[in-house]
Structures are given as C-alpha cells and as structure tokens.
Amino acid sequence: MATALPLSPLQDLLDSVSPLLDSVDGRVQKKCYRVLERVLTSEGQPQKTFVRENLLQLMSLLCGSLSTSSPASKKPRLRCLLCLVDHVGHDSHHFLNTLTPEVILCTKETNEKCRAMAFQLLVRMGHAAQRCYGLSPEESLTQYVGVVLAGMAGSSHLVSASIISLSKLLFEFKDVVSTHLVSQLLTSMTALLSSKRREVVKAAFGFIKITIRVLPVADLSPHLEELIRGVLCWSADPKSHFRLKARVILERLCRKFGFEMVSSVTPARGQRLLAHIKKTSERVKRKKTAPDESSEDEEEERGKRGSWIRESSGGGDPVDFLDRSLAARISSTHPVQIMKSQVAGESFPTSADGKLLISDQPSEPGEQSQEKMELDDTEGGRRKRKRESTEEGSEVGGARGGGKGIHRKQPDKMDFNYGSEYRAKKARGDVKIKGKPDPYAYVPLLGQKLNRRKRAKLSGQFQGLVRSAKTGASAGKRQRGRRK
C-alpha cells in the first residue's frame, strides 16, 4: 500500500514508523525498514515528492537509528541507504561521514548479499563525495579516503574491513585517485605486511594484488623494492598461511615488470624462489605451445581417407560416372593392397566343369605359409607375436602354437606339506631337530584376531588346532599306557 498512497498519508506513515525503528524486536525493525524501502524505491510521483521534501528528516532518522539497528535488519537498512545516497547534494558530507563506519563493517558480513550491497553503497558514497565536498574529483576522493582511513586505528576486524574498503575504492576510482595518495597507501600497506595480526596481513595482501592489477608501471616502480621485501617476509612462512599468496604476488610482479627488473631488487634470500617462478612460467609457456604444434602435424598426417572405384575386369569400356550403380562399386579399401595381401596358390583348384576341388587331407606343417601361421596365432581379434621360425624351435617338447597360456613344458609343482620334516621315521608323532624351532603349532599374534565381526571364523580355526592337540595327546597317553 505504501507505493500507492498520496502525499498526505505518507507523512502519517513516516510518523508511525519512526519510533518503531528503535524497537527491541528485530522483526519489527525489519518490517519498518522494508516499508521505508518501498517508499524510497517507488516510481510514483507522490513518493518522489515526499522523499525530496523530507530528505533531511529521513537522513537524521537513519543516522539516529544506527546504534539500535538489529543484525536482521541490515539488508533492508542498506537498501534504504542506497536510495538516500543518490539524493545527497551539497553540504551533506556529515551524512556520509556518519554512515561510513557502518558500511565498512558490513563489508565483512557473513551474508553474501549484505556484503555485495555494502560494496555497492561504498562506491555510491564515493560518487556522492565528489558532489558534497565541492572540490575537484581528486581532492574530493582524497577527503573521502581520509574518512575511510580513520578505521585503521581500531581493532583487527575494523582494520581489515577498512583495507578491503580501500581496495574497492582504488579499483573503482583508479582513474581519479592521485599519485600522492597511492604512494601513501602503498607505504602503509607494506608496513602492515609485518604485522602479527593475520587478518590484517590477509587484507593487505588483497590490497597489493589490486594495486598491481590496476596501477601503471610508472606509479608502482618507486615502491617495487619495498613491496618485494614486505612480501618475502611470508615466503618462508612455517605454517603456510600466506606462502602461496606471497608467491602469487611475486609472479604478478614478474609479469608486470619482467624477471630481470624484479631480480635486480630482490634480496639474496628470495633469488631461489624467483628462479623457481621463472622456470615454472617457462614450462607453462612450453606446454601451451606444444599441443598446437602437435595437433597441426597430426592433421597434416591424418588427412581424409580416400575412396576407389572398382572397374570391370575387361577394362575396355570407360566408367560412366552418371550411372546409378556406380555407388555400389565405390570401395574405401585400396584394391592393390588387397591383392598384395592375398597369397598366391591359396585358392582351391577347379575341375573342367568349374567345380571346386577341396581335399580333406590336412597339409603338412612345412607347407604352411608364414601368413597362415600368423593367422593361427590370432584369437578374439587380438594379434599375438609372430612365432619364431620352425628351424629355431623344432626341438621335441618345444612351444606348441595356438590357444592361450603357456605351452612350454613346465616342471610339476611339488606339494609341500608344512611340518613334514619333523615327522619321525620309525614312530608316530614329531621329533625335535637341531637348529630348528620346536615342532609346535605357532599362532601369530595379530590385531585382526581380536576383530569381533570375524570371531566365528577365527574361533573355528582355533577349535581345529585344539582338537588336533587333544587327539595327539590322547594317542600319546595310550602309547605310554601300553608300555607300562
């Protein structure tokens, strides 16, 4: 209904919603901010007039409810601020200064949509600052960055959020930011790389990445040496928190300035890492170029498979290419190669009346051709190795052709009965042998024997062992009784 109300009821709606923005209940706050959002984003003429006439009241209302806003109402509150920032004009820089800390902290929110809106609001506030301060774009942006830099004196969370906000502003306003401001920011971030607070160091690495990406070589070259020295502090991190980040930054510096220039300002402790980066990049370049060359060679070698037309054996009449039966005579196999593969003398003889004469007697082994012997060694479409000549392997008991497996004669496997060497030759039972263990059943003490799921299987093995021991003991007892 808020989008369809006329001008006079909108003022009553604002008076009703204003005290509820300080409510303890987060759900009530969220509903009130959504009502304001509908009014601020409406395209109706009464709503636009209402926002323009009550802009200062809306600004003070949102600034006053900053301390009492609940976490659940952050997204609708940020949407309201996005709409108000677009209406900010001259002499409204106090509104931007009040909201900047809140927007900076929202860039570290867990909710992805909330973070995205915070970054969007930060950029819009940068554009609004160029209208509010009444200065040139460079000076206005410098004033606004000074407000953001005030968060560098807070806790680790606020410092890291401020660095992230500065990275976003530098990326969006890279064409407007002054060289002097960039120099100050790079000096501050390089000093923060030696901090013991890992959250701050992580944000500083992100700022340096953005700087290398967006700034030209002329602005970065005066700070190249101090950047490399600051990054190398974490190249040998024992816990590997920022070792990869340091290496990525060095790789980007090498791509931007070249290996020779980076190596000239790198200390001795970083030369080994720099050489490894250079070797890795050269290997990647070779891999990128190698597949292209090989694919071109393969395409040249492969080519399109040709076709041949089978002509009549007479060869007198020319081939009629307009004949419909020509398609049946096209072959994809070279006819000359087929003729070469056929062995002369393999065809069956024919009688005078044209009948085939097939003899039932098998041909002698010596009369078989080499191609026939190779064909016999083929099974299931897989080609075996060519067998050796019959002259080299003609001994009795040699290899036997055809089929799978090993065909040579192998010695019979000897059945080895464990414990048979302890068996007495002239009596029953076992005897001790000098230099060998006693003839007992040894059970290995393995952890698997204690497995509850395999208890039945293992108990059966031990039962057989105990049963054999009892049988041997009873037999020995009977023999001793007979001797008495």
Q: Do 82 and 155 sit in the same domain of this protein? A: no
Q: Do 2 and 55 sit in the same domain of this protein? A: yes
Q: Do 95 and 200 sit in the same domain of this protein? A: yes
Instruction: Please give the Cα distance from 12 to 281 (Å, whole number).
Output: 67
Token readout for 323 is 């004949």
Residue 340 in any domain: the answer is no
> Is a pLDDT exceeding 80 seen at residue 389?
no
Q: Which of 28, 58, 87 is the last residue of a domain?
A: 87
Identify the pLDDT of residue 361. 57
Residue 155 in any domain: the answer is yes
Residue 388 in any domain: the answer is no
Across residues 186-211, what is the average pLDDT? 90
Q: How many domains does the chain have?
A: 3
Q: Do 142 and 165 sit in the same domain of this protein? A: yes
Q: How confident is the model at residue 240 (pLDDT cuts 50, 70, 90)?
A: low
> Is a pLDDT exceeding 70 seen at residue 253?
yes
Across residues 158-164, what is the average pLDDT? 93
Residue 230 in any domain: the answer is yes
Across residues 198-211, what is the average pLDDT? 91
Q: How confident is the model at residue 335 (pLDDT cuts 50, 70, 90)?
A: low
> Is a pLDDT exceeding 70 seen at residue 219?
yes
> Is a pLDDT exceeding 90 seen at residue 86?
no
Identify the pLDDT of residue 167. 93
Higher-confidence residue of 67 and 58: namely: 58
Identify the pLDDT of residue 163. 94
Residue 431 in any domain: the answer is no
Residue 355 in any domain: the answer is no
Q: Do 202 and 258 sit in the same domain of this protein? A: no
Higher-confidence residue of 462 and 228: namely: 228
Residue 265 in any domain: the answer is yes
Identify the pLDDT of residue 385. 46
Identify the pLDDT of residue 321. 64
Across residues 104-114, what is the average pLDDT? 88
Instruction: Give the position of tokens 């003839």.
Output: 439
At 168-188, the pLDDT tens digits run 999 999 888 888 999 999 999
Q: Do 156 and 259 sit in the same domain of this protein? A: no
Q: Which of 185, 215, 245 is the last residue of a domain?
A: 215
Higher-confidence residue of 295 and 119: namely: 119
Average pLDDT, the chain: 77
Higher-confidence residue of 319 and 270: namely: 270
> Is a pLDDT exceeding 70 seen at residue 157?
yes
At 395-407, the pLDDT tens digits run 444 455 556 667 7
> Is a pLDDT exceeding 70 seen at residue 386?
no
Q: Is 303 exposed, middle or buried (0-12, 13-18, 19+ CB in 10 A)?
A: exposed
Identify the pLDDT of residue 210. 92
Across residues 88-93, what is the average pLDDT? 76
Q: Do 73 and 105 sit in the same domain of this protein? A: no
Token readout for 361 is 């007697």
Q: Do 270 and 186 sit in the same domain of this protein? A: no
Q: Do 42 and 95 sit in the same domain of this protein? A: no
Q: Which of 286, 303, 327 is the last residue of a domain?
A: 286
> Is a pLDDT exceeding 80 seen at residue 349?
no
Identify the pLDDT of residue 98. 86
Residue 99 in any domain: the answer is yes
Identify the pLDDT of residue 301. 52
Instruction: Output the domain CATH number for residue 190.
Output: 1.25.10.10
Across residues 152-171, what is the average pLDDT? 91
Identify the pLDDT of residue 294. 52
Q: Do 102 and 190 sit in the same domain of this protein? A: yes
Q: Do 81 and 183 sit in the same domain of this protein? A: no
Asked if 439 and 430 touch (Cβ cutoff 8 Å), the reply is yes
> Is a pLDDT exceeding 80 seen at residue 333?
no
Instruction: Please give the Cα distance from 265 to 250 (Å, whole number).
Output: 12
CA distances from 420 to 297, 369, 430, 435, 439 (A): 68, 54, 9, 16, 10
Q: Do 77 and 94 sit in the same domain of this protein? A: no
Residue-range definition of the domain harbouring residue 66: 1-87
